[in-house]
Amino acid sequence: MERPQSVPEEVQQQEHVFSEKEIKDYKDGCEQVGLKLSYAVERMIDEGKKPTILIPSRGAIPIFLNAINSLREGHDSGPLGNPSRMNFYPSKIFQYLAPDLAPSELPAKEGETTVDIVLYPFTADVSLFFDPDSSQTKVKNSASVNVERVNSDAEDLAKGLRTSCAKSIDSLLYGDGSSLDLAWHFFLLSKVNPNVFKTFGSSPEEYADSLRSVSSDPNREIILIDTVLSGRAVTNISEAFNELGHPVTPIFAVDNKEGRLQKRYAERIRRAVNPNYIDNVEEQYTRFPLITEDEGPAFLGVSALNISNFNTRKYFLDTALPLGFLPQSCLWLVPPRDEAVLDYQDVFLAFMNLCQTGDYGEDFPDIIDLQMGYYLGKEGSRLSEFGNDVLKGARVKNNVKTSSGIISMYMDPRDAEKWVGEFLEKVKDKNG
């Protein structure tokens, strides 16, 4: 295969994107995460519970997939080593991300407990949030605003958005799926151009239907697998589920750079999580280099799209919606396939294989190494090139890549107001 012309010369000259030590440490870390997952799952089953693994972030995706692969290669005798005992939601996304880890077509044996794996975006990237049509624009690096106040507002906003996600999942797993926060997520999915989902071999409707097919079960226990830098995000999520009466069992991959996990968050996490299916909360932190964190869809599998209009309550005020309603408005998508060069999916699958083998080896293709270097650190994804085509019937006024590579789109306010009106009508029709 010819070297793609879009790869910069400096990238073409480098030896390897990651050192073999980084790959080995990452692989070993994922294996430890897998063992902890297996242990918690079996403890839950022993106590008559229904284990449910929740993946709330892009960073946790490759770690989870590598963890499950290590269990299967090690012939783990528990449910996570047995394809017939795992249910994936949304199923088509998992098939896209890990074709080799596809569930078995054989059903579980009678009496065997299965494990549900739910992929749902709790992403709340508010490193840049603004209203271009307002004199109160807030941009963290602007000298014209009080940075401390903006940081505080952003932290409150992130907590509120993740609480919205917890309400959605709580309604999905334990309730009747009628949560307004969940309804908003499905509404936004219906507004995505179906062509975007062709990469998944799916559609927005199929994506939503797969999530809706998760059955409510009062015996569920949630295992939260996530990556940890400062600890703020997993603190928000853990506390939100605890307040809803369903504390999670934590299994966290922690970046091993010194001082990343802040003590104040570690203590709040300890108080909020469920200790019943683990030996010690502190042992649930697996420390290794998180070389994929915030590196984009070539290393995470998916990209995130945030509609920034709805990071403010102004569109929901003076409506029939509950006072204070502020739903999370972020979706997981993937860039379109590009047949001219190696695709994001090709690079992702090659990277996953590299992590599973533990070293580059003589057969590792130079072209993959080049493309990995090209995509490493590349902000966002080609989703940004879709412009108005991503969101059906909406004019996009601003299209920004945030500090963690999320695409943040700001719609024309008239379209945002129209969407909220449509959502209200759907809610009214459903409730009669």
- State the residue for tokens 């242990």: 39
Looking at residue 112, its pLDDT comes to 84
Residue 2 lies in a domain: no
Residue 298 lies in a domain: yes
Residue 268 lies in a domain: yes
CB 128 within 8 A of CB 398: no
- Which of the residue ranges 87-91, 95-99, 288-292, 382-386 would you say has the lowest mean pLDDT? 382-386
Domain of 75, in residue numbers: 9-431
What is the reported pTM?
A: 0.89
Residue 374 lies in a domain: yes
Residue 131 lies in a domain: yes
The residue with greater pLDDT, 402 or 249, is 249
- The average pLDDT across 241-257 equals 95
> Which class for 68: exposed (0-12), middle (13-18), buried (19 or more C-beta within 10 A)?
buried
**403 φ/ψ angles, rounded to the nearest 5 degrees:** -65, -25
Query: Would you call 401 helix, strand, or coil by DSSP?
Result: strand
pLDDT digits (tens, 9 = 90+) for 363-398: 787 778 778 877 775 554 556 555 557 888 888 877
Looking at residue 129, its pLDDT comes to 52
Residue 348 lies in a domain: yes
Residue 159 lies in a domain: yes
In sequence order, which residues have a C-beta less than 8 Å from that of residue 243 and are 6 or more positions away?
A: 163
Number of domains in the chain: 1
- The average pLDDT across 29-53 equals 97
- State the residue for tokens 């003589």: 362
Residue 408 lies in a domain: yes
- State the residue for tokens 């998180």: 290
> Is the pLDDT assigned to residue 16 strictly greater than 70?
yes
Percent of the chain beyond pLDDT 90? 46
Radius of gyration of the chain (CA): 21
What's the gap between Cα 298 and its chain centre?
14
Distance CA 71, CA 73 (A): 5
